[in-house]
């Protein structure tokens, strides 16, 4: 139970939860006890034999209501620097009751937004909301944990980020990371749900009983405690000239992280995505991440950019309709061009959006009447890379002429092992079948930030290319 595990709070972004609940549960399905047995049937009987006394507490399930002064407070002490020190540059909880149940905020402003709205020919405002989605990966969460006589912990898991998991477990157990080895197995789909955390249960049980422990979630359990997407309420307000030029935009977003703060990335996404792929001189973005008494949420196929894009592009179509402008021409008038600066401060290079829009419109025969039972629509979306992530690779040539490739990246069904082997083979000038690939093992492979954000072909692939190039030059 919670009394048997380390008395410390942990978390991926804010340290706000215990490994097993202590004294208070914050959502239906929160783990309060774990049992291990010689087989699954005995373990189920043991779990059913656990008796719990509950006292019902006030709850809040709506993110707007959760911010009200009268809402029950899910977490006391979010104002403590110790709680969120590791992410202090980006995760900014509002202190105590001043920011009731708000665990992260992002506010940024460029230009004179209020002045632009005051001088605007027209102002348009729309509100949107997205709902909870469960990842529904074909393979459920599954892990095996084993502890050696020397106290070294090995975890086999279908996790997207083995190195992050190693750090997470080391913090929980207060041991050096070298005491923990995470071996990533091929992942049967993850989409953001299979990141650090869940594996703590078999690890804690293995430490307790001294035997290897396997845990596999059922499909029911995936819905009860397997994470969800981070739903949002989005309000978009734009100042527009009569000729269709956007002069200002204000975007307010409220995200529902559930009972614990795993939903930070979407709440930071507005800095990169809330303007859309449009050059807008005056821009205000306000994003809040809010606790509610629901299943913890996390990233789902992107870090919130898709939610924002849906709202922004729907808003753009609405403006075009009301102004009597063609939606494609309206977008072309405002899109990013080569050398433009994004809201996050990046100077954009290789911008092909104008050519892309024009070619798509041509292929759709835009402007011509639609045929029966067919629809036409155009939307834009910009995907920013994560420059703070890193990948490493080792390539060595063996005495028999074969090649060994080591990468800390994870195969989650996207064909990464093939991709990395192809890059290595091409750079070395050898046959694909001559390359042996080992990935996702913190005990044998170099560091990789993990499988998320469609980053691995670019990041891990270039690490392999550079390593293979170095090996080739040495011989």
Look at the alpha carbons of 241, 245, 248, 252 in this order and tell me if their dihedral is positive or negative. positive
What is the model's pLDDT at position 88? 44
Q: Mind listing the pLDDT tens digit of every residue in the chain (475 residues)?
A: 999 999 999 998 888 999 999 999 999 999 999 999 999 999 999 999 999 999 999 999 999 999 998 999 999 865 444 444 444 445 555 554 456 899 888 898 999 999 999 999 999 999 999 999 999 999 999 999 999 999 999 999 999 999 999 999 999 999 999 999 999 998 999 999 998 789 999 999 999 999 999 999 999 999 999 999 999 999 999 999 999 999 999 999 999 999 999 999 999 888 888 899 999 999 999 999 999 999 999 999 988 999 999 999 999 999 999 999 999 999 999 999 999 988 878 899 999 999 999 999 999 999 999 999 999 999 999 877 667 789 999 999 999 999 999 999 999 989 999 999 999 999 999 999 999 999 999 999 999 999 988 899 999 999 999 999 999 999 9
Separation of alpha carbons 438 and 419, rounded Å: 13
Nearest to 185 by CA among 139, 136, 134: 139
CA–CA distance, 345 with 340 (Å, rounded to integer) = 10
Scored b (16 or more CB within 10 A) or e, 313-333 reads bebbbbbbeebebbbbebbee
Q: Mention every residue, 6+ apart, whose C-beta is less than 8 A from residue 414.
A: 451, 456
Residue 319 half-sphere exposure toward CB, CA atoms < 13 A: 29
Rounded CA-CA distance 400/77 in Å is: 60
Q: Beta 153-157 vs 180-184: how paired, if at all? A: parallel
Closest CA to 191 of 226, 225, 235, 219: 226
User: Residue 74: helix, strand or coil by DSSP?
Assistant: coil
Three-state secondary structure call for residue 407 = strand
Contact in structure between 293 and 26 (CB atoms under 8 Å):
yes
For the beta carbon of residue 93, count every other beta carbon within 10 angstroms.
25
Q: Give the pLDDT of residue 91.
A: 58
Count, in order, helices (H) and strands (E) of the chain: 14, 12
Q: What is the side-by-side strand order in the sheet with 393-397?
A: 393-397, 403-407, 435-439
Beta strands in 219-300 (DSSP E): 232-240, 246-258, 282-291
Q: Please, what's the b/e burial string for 354-379 (b: 16 or more CB within 10 A of its CB; e: otherwise)?
A: eeebeeebeeeebeeeeeeeeeeebe
Instruction: Supply the pTM of this predicted model.
Output: 0.93
């Amino acid at each position: 139970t919670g009394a048997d595990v380390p008395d410390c709070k942990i978390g991926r972004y804010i340290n706000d939860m215990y490994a097993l609940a202590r004294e208070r549960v914050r959502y239906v399905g929160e783990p309060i006890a774990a049992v291990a047995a010689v087989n699954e049937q005995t373990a189920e009987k043991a779990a059913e034999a656990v008796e719990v006394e509950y006292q019902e507490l006030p709850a809040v399930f709506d993110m707007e209501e959760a911010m009200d002064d009268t809402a029950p407070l899910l977490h006391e002490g979010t104002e403590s620097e110790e709680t969120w020190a590791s992410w202090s540059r980006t995760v900014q909880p509002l202190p105590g009751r001043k920011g009731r149940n708000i665990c992260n905020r992002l506010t940024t402003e460029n230009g004179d937004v209020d002045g632009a709205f005051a001088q605007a020919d027209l102002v348009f405002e729309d509100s949107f909301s997205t709902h909870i989605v469960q990842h529904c990966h074909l393979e459920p969460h599954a892990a095996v944990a084993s502890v050696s006589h020397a106290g070294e912990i090995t975890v086999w898991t279908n996790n997207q980020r083995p190195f992050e998991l190693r750090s997470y477990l080391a913090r929980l157990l207060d041991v050096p990371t070298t005491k923990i080895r995470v071996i990533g197995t091929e992942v049967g789909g993850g989409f953001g749900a299979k990141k650090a955390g869940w594996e703590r249960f078999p690890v804690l049980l293995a430490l307790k009983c001294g035997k290897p422990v396997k845990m596999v979630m059922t499909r029911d359990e995936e819905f009860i405690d397997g994470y969800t997407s981070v739903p949002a309420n989005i309000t978009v307000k734009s100042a527009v000239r009569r000729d269709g030029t956007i002069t200002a935009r204000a975007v307010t977003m409220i995200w529902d992280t559930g009972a614990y703060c795993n939903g930070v990335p979407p709440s930071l996404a507005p800095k990169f995505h809330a303007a859309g792929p449009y050059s807008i001189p005056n821009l205000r973005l306000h994003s809040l991440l809010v606790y509610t008494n629901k299943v913890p949420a996390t990233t789902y196929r992107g870090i919130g950019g898709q939610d924002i894009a849906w709202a922004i592009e729907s808003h753009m179509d609405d403006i075009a309709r009301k102004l009597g402008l063609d939606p494609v021409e309206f977008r072309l008038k405002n899109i990013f061009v080569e050398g433009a600066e994004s809201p996050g401060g990046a100077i954009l290079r290789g911008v092909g959006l104008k050519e892309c829009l024009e070619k798509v419109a041509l292929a759709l025969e835009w402007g011509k009447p639609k045929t029966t039972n067919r629809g036409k629509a155009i939307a834009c979306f910009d995907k920013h890379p994560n420059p703070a992530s890193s990948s490493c690779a080792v390539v060595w040539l063996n005495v028999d002429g074969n090649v060994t490739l080591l990468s800390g990246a994870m195969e989650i069904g996207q064909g990464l092992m093939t991709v990395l082997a192809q890059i290595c083979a091409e750079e070395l000038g050898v046959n694909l079948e001559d390359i042996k690939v080992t990935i996702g093992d913190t005990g044998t492979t170099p560091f990789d930030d993990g499988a998320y954000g469609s980053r691995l072909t670019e990041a891990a692939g270039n690490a392999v290319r550079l390593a293979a190039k170095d090996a080739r030059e040495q011989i």
